Structures are given as C-alpha cells and as structure tokens.
Amino acid sequence: MLEAILIAGPTASGKSTAALALAERLGGTIINADSMQVYRELQVLTARPSVAEMETAPHRLYGMVPGRDAYSVGRWVGDAAAAIEDARERGQVPILVGGTGLYFMAMLQGLSPVPEIPEDIRRHWRERAATAAGTDLHAVLAARDPVMGVRLSPTDTQRLVRALEVIDATDVSLAEWQETAGTPVLNDKAVLKMLVAPERETIYAAIDGRFENMLKAGALAEVAALAGLQLDPGLPVMRALGVSELSSYLSGAMSLEEAATKAKTASRRYAKRQMTWARRFMADWTWVPSGEAASASVPID
C-alpha cells in the first residue's frame, strides 16, 4: 500500500505544480517540505502557494511559524508526521513536496536523537556567531570537539553553531549523537519518490522569471516588513533567498537592478547545490524532467 507521495526538486522546478495536480486527481493533502515556506512573514519571497491554490486542495505546514522562531528539521518531522496521520484519517493521500533534501532524508531514515538545546545556550551561540569570525568559532569547536572540528569548515557558521550548542549542552559530540540511528516516519519501500529535475537552463530561466514576478507581487514590501521586526540576523528566516539583497536595496546600498541580479544569482547557486544533494542522496528516486511529467506519471489507481 502506498503510504505517501514525495516530490522533491530544486527551486523553481515545477514541483509544487505537480503536487497540486496530483492532489486534485487523487484526493490528496499537500504537506510542505521546504524549510523557508514554513515562515509566516515570507509568502511572496518563498513562493508559497497562493490563496487560490490552497483552496483547491488541503495544504499543511505552510506559513505557520513566526520568523522569530528557529524552526528545525526535528520539529518539522514531528509536525509532518502529524499531518500525514491526519491526511490518512481523512482518506486523503499525503503528498510531501519541497526542496529541502534533509527533510526528506529525516522522514525516510529518521533523525539522531539529539536532545533539545536549552534556550540560553542557543541564544549564547547565536549572539556569539553574530559578532565573531567563523575562524574564531571553529577554533573553539576544535578545542572542545576535535571530531566535529575536523568535519566542519570555518566558513560553515550555521553548522559550527549547531555543533557548539550540542557539545555545550550535552558534553557529547554531535558526531556521537549522529551515529545513533533514528526511527523513520515513512517506509522507504512504501512511498513513491519523484525528483523534478529540468535542464539547468530551464531552471535558471524559471528562477529569473519568478523573481521578477515576486517583485511585482510585493516582495519589497514583504522584506521591509521583515526588517521592521528587527529579528536576530542569525535566524533562518533572515537567510531566505532574496532577503539580504532586497534589504540592501531598501537601505540604499545598491540599486534595485543590482539587488535583483544578485538575488537571481544566489537562487541559481542554491538550485545547483540542491541538485548536488540530489545526485548524492536521491539517486534511487524517480527523476522526471518537469512537474507535468511528475503528475502524469502517477496513475489514479
């Protein structure tokens, strides 16, 4: 029995279109598997489904987290598991769609049981990261957790902070926690796994066109409102594609044309990283060239 349909792919690949088409055909619930579309403040800039699309089929885990929260993969697994169970109870097919590869990996393989980090420790390392150089953070980590110090680069601030939080809170290396297998939510053999992977130039053209549409749809006002919240710059929501570039325009640091060009370039690089992840961890998925091909490849029965 098919437990769920999983649709992954790089940004602007058409995977959300495929999910909506399948939800309409099969009677499904669409469950978000994108780490930025969870945030309430960024509907336009994260390309969240429109109001009309969300009225066409049930959607879960979109825009439900305030930007002040550092939403984690662990929280998402719990929320997604509940959404999957709710869909099944309603007789609907769970359709997970998004571009965050780690979310899918956690769903199919489980998460290492790293305990919750106390808020004072999390705050300490976020504040430290906001002022310290990556090399300084790396030096601290190398002294306290040599194994993770070898694994991580001084430029990988987010993972450095995570490793420091864990060693500080538990006195156990993140590497040791990661060696303990988690419990999968879905049976890898009982799901349909599709990866939407258009040609590179097709994705790049889609990225450019979509960003122009975002500007017309109010992306600047959205970023201005986010800036007005004066959130910690280390929070995940502040790293959403386009936030930094449009913030620079709003502050007068660059022209809108330059900001748009930089945002498009950053999105292209992100899509490239997503495809690199997919080739490494999703080689056994069914690769399709477009969202239309993904939806057409699933029979009704």
How many whole angstroms separate alpha carbon 37 and alpha carbon 73? 13
What pLDDT does residue 250 have? 98
Mean pLDDT, contiguous 10-residue spans, the chain (301 residues): 93 96 96 97 97 96 95 90 97 96 92 84 91 92 93 89 92 85 90 97 98 98 97 87 97 98 97 93 96 87 60
Contacts of 292 (CB under 8 A, 6+ apart): 14, 17, 18, 21
Using the structure block, give the residue that is written with the tokens 């500080």. 168
Instruction: Specify the pTM.
Output: 0.84
What pLDDT does residue 205 have? 98
Q: Which CATH class is domain 119-178?
A: mainly alpha
What pLDDT does residue 300 have? 66
Contact present, 129 and 157 (Cβ < 8 Å): yes
Q: Show me where the domains of the chain are located.
A: 4-111+182-296, 119-178
Longest dimension (CA), the chain: 57
What pLDDT does residue 171 have? 85
What pLDDT does residue 254 have? 97
The domain 4-111+182-296 is placed in CATH, from the list 3.40.50.300, 3.90.78.10, 3.20.20.70, 3.30.230.70, at: 3.40.50.300
What pLDDT does residue 74 have? 84
The alpha carbon of residue 84 and the mean position of all alpha carbons in its chain are separated, in whole angstroms, by 18
* Equal fold, 4-111+182-296 vs 119-178: no
